[in-house]
Amino acid sequence: MRRIIWERIEGFLFPQESDTWLTVLRLGAALQVILYCSTTRAEWHETFSMQSVGPIRRDLSEAVLSAQSHFIPRMGWLVDAGARIGLGEGLVLEIIWWALLIAGISLLVGLFCRASAIVAAFLHLCAVKSSGALSYGVDIFTIVGLFYVAVAPLPDSFSLDRHFRQLKPKYAELNGFFRRALQVHVCLIYFFSGIAKCAGVGWWNGESIWRAVIRPPFNMISPSILIHWKFFFPIASISVCILETAYPIFIWPRRTRVIWLCSVVAMHIGIAAFLGMYLFALIMIILNLAAFGPPFRWRQDAGVNVVAEQGIA
């Protein structure tokens, strides 16, 4: 009996899994890093320089971090390290930005996957933690994505490392384990996000959705237009509560997985369209597809490469 239980636990934790989920996650996380670099470029020095005249300086954020632990990665470490070899703060910050961008591009094409993933995850974490209050949901979920890319068995089948450098992952049999960990993590994200929303009155009568879409700076569409759809708000907000809270229940069975996955992706597309949170929507869709999306394979068919669906795992 104990053996059967152990085999079931083992079967759940270490399933046989292809690495296509990792390809999706690697591409998505790398894209997010590149977009993070491009969207923060204009204010990079203002955000992280101690000589900055910008609205928020990193010393405040890093002081808050130190109250939690002195070992949480931060930009201050890198700036101090640069100072020890005679590099000025501005130059170090410039090097960090370029290093993050290059790591993102390298991760996107799949070259030096492991090193790129670790560098991107570490530098991105430093930047997000040191920018403190300036970070929001998209940064948190990019950290989640980069963490799993950095620890999973790289390189994946679609990387340049595999095709041009002929490298193979050392522990490919752990692909299933890391995907399982990501799946459980995504379930926790939705469940706790959903349960917290369910506790609010506004999520049951539609007022929360209304407030979210008319609230500056997320007010992409005029309230005068949106008010004509007021009957839809309660339906939408209750749907959000159900989709998120019941995610861990309905995303696992094959019968309901496609419906739930498509619904959640549609919800995130809606967030992008109505709240203008494109990057947030993108990373959430990537996490969903990596965790529960169908696997696919690259097939040579009459000399033409096609992506073939293998169905839901």
The site for another protein (CB under 8 A) is made up of 39-40, 42-43, 52-57, 60, 68-73, 121, 125, 129, 131, 133-137, 140-144, 147, 185, 188-193, 195-204, 206-208, 210-212, 214-218, 223, 227, 230, 233, 276-277, 279
CB-based burial label for 138 (10 Å; 0-12, 13-18, 19+): buried
Distance of closest approach, residue 19 Cβ to another protein, in angstroms: 21
Q: Which is nearer to another protein, 75 or 161 (CB)?
A: 75
Distance of closest approach, residue 268 Cβ to another protein, in angstroms: 12
Distance of closest approach, residue 136 Cβ to another protein, in angstroms: 5
Query: Amino acid identity, residue 55?
Result: P
Distance of closest approach, residue 269 Cβ to another protein, in angstroms: 17
Distance of closest approach, residue 44 Cβ to another protein, in angstroms: 10
- Three-state helix/strand/coil letters over the chain: CHHHHHHHHHHHHCCCCCCHHHHHHHHHHHHHHHHHHHHHHHHHHHHHCCCCCCCCCHHHHHHHHHHHCCCCCCHHHHHHHHHHCCCCHHHHHHHHHHHHHHHHHHHHHCCCHHHHHHHHHHHHHHHHHHCHHHCCHHHHHHHHHHHHHHHCCCCCCCCHHHHCCCCCCCCHHHHHHHHHHHHHHHHHHHHHHHHHHHCCCHHHHCHHHHHHHHCCCCCCCCHHHHHHHCCHHHHHHHHHHHHHHCHHHHCCCHHHHHHHHHHHHHHHHHHHHHHCCHHHHHHHHHHHHHHHCCCEEEEEECCEEEEEECCCC
Q: Which is nearer to another protein, 162 or 197 (CB)?
A: 197
Q: Which is nearer to another protein, 104 or 295 (CB)?
A: 104
Q: Which is nearer to another protein, 174 or 181 (CB)?
A: 181
Q: Which of 117, 174, 176, 154 minimizes the C-alpha distance to 295?
A: 176
Q: Which is nearer to another protein, 191 or 296 (CB)?
A: 191
Distance of closest approach, residue 303 Cβ to another protein, in angstroms: 43
Q: Which is nearer to another protein, 18 or 208 (CB)?
A: 208
Q: How far apart are CA 125 and CA 162, in angstroms?
A: 27
Distance of closest approach, residue 147 Cβ to another protein, in angstroms: 5
Residue 62 φ then ψ, to 5° = -70, -30
Q: Which is nearer to another protein, 58 or 162 (CB)?
A: 58
Distance of closest approach, residue 20 Cβ to another protein, in angstroms: 22
Residue 23 corresponds to which tokens in the numbers above? 């390809």
Q: Which is nearer to another protein, 111 or 246 (CB)?
A: 246
Q: Which is nearer to another protein, 52 or 239 (CB)?
A: 52
Residue 170 φ then ψ, to 5° = -75, -40
Distance of closest approach, residue 72 Cβ to another protein, in angstroms: 5
